[in-house]
Amino acid sequence: MRRLLILSCALLFAGGLTACDSFVEEVNEPRDSAPVENFNTPEDIRFLATGVRANFAEANSELVPTADLISDQFRFGLNSTDATFPTFQTLDAGVPEVQNNSVDASFNDVGQYRRLADDLITAVNGVEDFGDDPPLTREGALYVANLHGGIARYMYATYFGLNPREGGGVISESEFIPSPAMYDSARVKFEAARSFVPEDDIRTRRLNSVEARSALYAGTEYGPNTGGYSNALERAATLAENGLGQGETFEIPYTQQDPNGWYFVSGAGRIQVSAQDGNLRDLVQTQSNAPYKNPNGVRSFRDVLDNNPAEEARVPVRGVNNAAEIGLDRTDDAALDIAQGKFVGQGANQEFITWQENYLIRAELEVRGFDAGDESALALVNKVRSNFGLSTLSSLGSSQSGQLETIAVERDRTLFAIGQRLPDQRRFDNSIVDWHLVDEYQGQTTWQYLPITLQERDNNENFE
């Protein structure tokens, strides 16, 4: 949001903001704050589509670290006590206030992203003639608009909530939309996007994998007949089967000017949160100073890597000393914390979804009894492991719960630092994936979603 304000004022991206001109008096109204109907040429449509993608990058950059912190992938650590964002501490404890600034940034960016994606449809419909060789075709623009409109709704359904155990969001100051209905709204957008690209196009495979994830989450957390599907898991299996194949990914590009958020949250730019490592040498996260943690539910990435160093291929971390200097080997005696080392530079691209995740989605659905292709769950998992140079497994387990537990572990490590741990903690049974926080801390129920912000609650007349 902060970077987008600058970029929008500079007309680099179409941010849809309306307040840029308040900073500089007596100038023409910026083009990006004009009504959407003023964007009425093919060049304008490309401009807006670029803005949608920029908003996607910004929303993901804010949302993923925040979601990973309220889960147990990351924690507010020893070197974080003087961080600019002490609001991270209440997220780590699971009791974020509705005016939490870190949540505000995520919620506002997702809202901005959703609005611009929806506005792009209005703008496309207002262009009568795209010509013979437009910079972006009508079909291409409508694919972008509907895909990203669906992703924004998926983000609301998966990450935000009205109450600690009640997920969902709002659209244009609507009444609260519970997660099942929001997943359904995402489904409608994804189905619309599919009609604008060829079936054998990489964009269709990306879309299929994104919707497979959304349908899987809807079906496993809220029941199979939810999210607008007669059987969400059966639909997820079909989508994943026709999703990303080996070597394919859906990445989000970042640059030095518009950096990956991890760089300043748990990277070389700044260490504000650290990879979860249990009771790290009894220096941090002990029960005496972290009573909000369930000691039986917090696992340690340090232990994972100590027991199997080869896992660092998919759980890359860097040691951090007591001066918050990054770059030590994790085994160095001076390494008090471990920061993520997956996204190193400011311009490091971040995957939104990969073929590896798609294969693990297929494997999970196979274990749950749904046909997701002609490969077994074990074969799919082993293809993922082999990609990271890990030994293959001879079995996933002797029972369905044991097999799901194995897949949950594979997901936890393969999907490190991309925001999928939080929904996994909610949708898997506690016997498979532990919830790491106590149910109540300091008289408050701990959150399993990011709270809808105070600003939204105050400004939206549907919240009384």
The answer to whether 393 touches 378, Cβ cutoff 8 Å, is yes
Q: How far apart are the C-alpha atoms of 355 and 369, rounded to whole Å?
A: 21
Q: Which pLDDT score is estimated for 271?
A: 86
**What is the predicted pLDDT for the residue at 288?**
54
Identify the CA nearest to 7 among candidates 47, 66, 63, 67. 47
- Distance spanning both ends of the chain, measured CA to CA: 27
Whole-structure pTM value:
0.91
- Give the Cα separation of 437 and 287 in Å (integer): 12
Q: What is the pLDDT of residue 4?
A: 40
User: So what's the pLDDT on residue 27?
Assistant: 36
406-456 per-position pLDDT tens digit: 999 999 999 999 999 999 999 999 889 989 999 999 899 999 999 999 999
* Residue 191, pLDDT above cutoff 70: yes
Give the pairing type, strands 160-163 and 450-451.
parallel
Angle (CA) 203-120-58 rounded to 5° is 70
According to CATH, where is 1.25.40.390 located in the chain? 2-197
Those residues whose C-beta lies under 8 Å from the C-beta of residue 226, and which sit 6 or more positions away, are 180, 183, 184, 218, 219, 232
In this prediction, residue 79 carries a pLDDT of: 59
Q: Which two tokens stand for residue 232?
A: 């969400």
| Residue 124 pLDDT > 50 | yes
Whether residue 25 has pLDDT greater than 50: no
Strand segments (E) across 32-86: 74-75
> What pLDDT was estimated at residue 325?
78
How far is Cα 155 from Cα 119, in angstroms, rounded to an integer?
A: 18
Whether pLDDT at 239 is above 50? yes
User: Which CATH number, 3.30.365.10, 1.10.10.10, 1.10.510.10, 1.25.40.390, labels domain 2-197?
Assistant: 1.25.40.390
Look at residue 278 in the predicted model and tell me its pLDDT: 67
Cβ contact 372:366 at 8 Å: yes
Name the DSSP letter for residue 277.
Answer: B
Q: Quote the percentage of the chain above a pLDDT of 90.
A: 73
Better-scored residue on pLDDT, 85 or 103: 103
Average pLDDT over residues 381-408: 98
Beta strands in 188-256 (DSSP E): 249-252
Phi, psi (degrees; rounded to nearest 5) at 67: -65, -40
* Percentage of the chain lying above the pLDDT 70 cut: 88
User: Does residue 265 register a pLDDT over 80?
Assistant: yes
Q: Is the pLDDT of residue 81 over 70?
A: no
pLDDT mean across residues, the chain: 88
Mean pLDDT value across residues 130-143: 96
Say whether 116 sits in a helix, a strand or coil. Answer: helix
Rounded mean pLDDT, 78-92: 69
Query: Which H or E element spans position 444?
Result: strand 444-445
pLDDT tier at 333, thresholds 50, 70, 90: confident
Task: Return the minimum-mean-pLDDT range out of 80-84, 211-215, 393-397.
Answer: 80-84
Half-sphere exposure of 62 (CA within 13 A, CB side): 25
Look at 292 and 148; give whichever has higher pLDDT. 148
User: Tell me, what's the pLDDT at 323?
Assistant: 75
Lowest mean pLDDT, pick from 46-55, 232-241, 262-271: 262-271
Q: Can you spell out the DSSP letters for 337-382?
A: EEEE-SS-STT--EEEEEHHHHHHHHHHHHHTT---SSS-HHHHHH
Tell which wins on pLDDT, 360 or 265: 360
Under the phi-then-psi rule, with left for phi > 0, alpha for psi from -120 to 50, and beta for the rest, what region is 168?
Answer: left
pLDDT for 295 equals 73
